[in-house]
Structure 1
């Protein structure tokens, strides 16, 4: 069972005790059920506090001067939204990717025609070998930082998300990971 299922089961048990307590007229038994409900509720919250607090904590990228802090997402990956040619594009940060890699959908959204690109490159991915088309991104914005002429490629295969690789990340002075936080310094 995952944390969400355990929490749901706990609340169903609490609901069952509540209904049972309202049916019973014995005051001592009702009080024992109320205390049982309180105990089960506190136990459920304590055991799932990390998940509960993470859900209520704002998970947003923060920008201060030349520092960008990116919190790890629920899927244990760092994700960022950059503006490519003034179009917001969601990226998975991938320090193992040598370049920025766009999905065909994202390439089309920023003004490239995936059907007219020359897929002359090759990439070796976890899903096997795929053809890639080299491109240059005219304008890439992350917060107040603007870069031009970033090397990238468009993947001919299916991808869940575009990848923010080292052709962009290497423009930062340092890249640091502290627990659940990615820190980029310019």
Structure 2
């Protein structure tokens, strides 16, 4: 146990002893009442923790998703993490991308490449990319039948990242086809 953990445990122990001593003195002779009070507060705290956990787990179900308007615009709400996410239909398979206006290319994770029938282990990784996690190898691929609502592109140049990524990125190779407007926690794409 290092010094920081020992210090925290000692501090927590002092607080427990102080609160416990107060409760014993205050409820002397009324231990049943004290135990009922402690159990009530314990159940309240456990209930709040469970509610918070469920809310966090189910939060994605209650957050708004992209909407596609009849006049050919796509509206993306800002997610809780501050990013914008977009779902593309590629060869009939839905793939979620994080919209990244600072990225040049469309970059797929190995898992998303597999969903599209691309075997990452057979690709030739000739390129490299500088990421927040360092330099990674990339392999160029061509995606067929890319759809976003009424917008259809027969092909899209993309790269498969050989490193670890939290999700696929949608860069300016695709986003450059749209006029982008960001306002009031939403991004609107128009073509």
Please tell me the TM-score bracket, short chain as reference. Answer: 0.5 to 0.7
Output the CA distance in 2 between the equivalents of 1:55 and 1:126: 26
**1:185: how far off?**
0.6
**1:80: how far off?**
1.1
Question: Deviation string for 1:35-89 (max 9, x for gaps)?
Answer: xxxxxxxxxxxxxxxxxxx999751211112111100011111011111111011
Aligned to 2:92: 86
Q: Give secondary structure in 2 for the equivalent of 1:108.
A: helix
Of 180, 183, 186, the match for 2:188: 183
Q: Cα distance 1:57–1:180, how it changes in 2: closer, same or farther (>3 A)?
A: farther
Aligned to 1:31: none
Aligned to 2:163: 157
Aligned 8 A contact 2:140 2:158 in 1: yes
Aligned pair 1:66/2:72, yes or no?
A: yes
Q: Give secondary structure in 1 for the equivalent of 2:117.
A: coil
Q: Give secondary structure in 2 for the equivalent of 1:182.
A: strand
Question: Deviation string for 1:116-138 (max 9, x for gaps)?
Answer: 11100110011110000011111
Output the CA distance in 2 between the equivalents of 1:58 and 1:96: 25
Cα RMSD (Å) of the superposition?
1.8
Q: Cα distance 1:125–1:56, how it changes in 2: closer, same or farther (>3 A)?
A: closer
Which is higher, the Rg of structure 1 or of structure 2? 2
Question: Deviation string for 1:135-181 (max 9, x for gaps)?
Answer: 11111111121112111000000101000111110111x11110200
Q: Cα distance 1:123–1:149, how it changes in 2: closer, same or farther (>3 A)?
A: same
Q: Which runs of 4+ in 1 moved over 6 A?
A: 54-57
Aligned 8 A contact 2:72 2:150 in 1: no
Aligned pair 1:128/2:154, yes or no?
A: no
Unaligned runs of 5+ in 1: 1-22, 24-53
Aligned length: 133
Q: Give secondary structure in 1 for the equivalent of 2:124.
A: coil
TM-score by length of 2: 0.66
TM-score by length of 1: 0.68
Output the CA distance in 1 between the equivalents of 2:66 and 2:172: 19
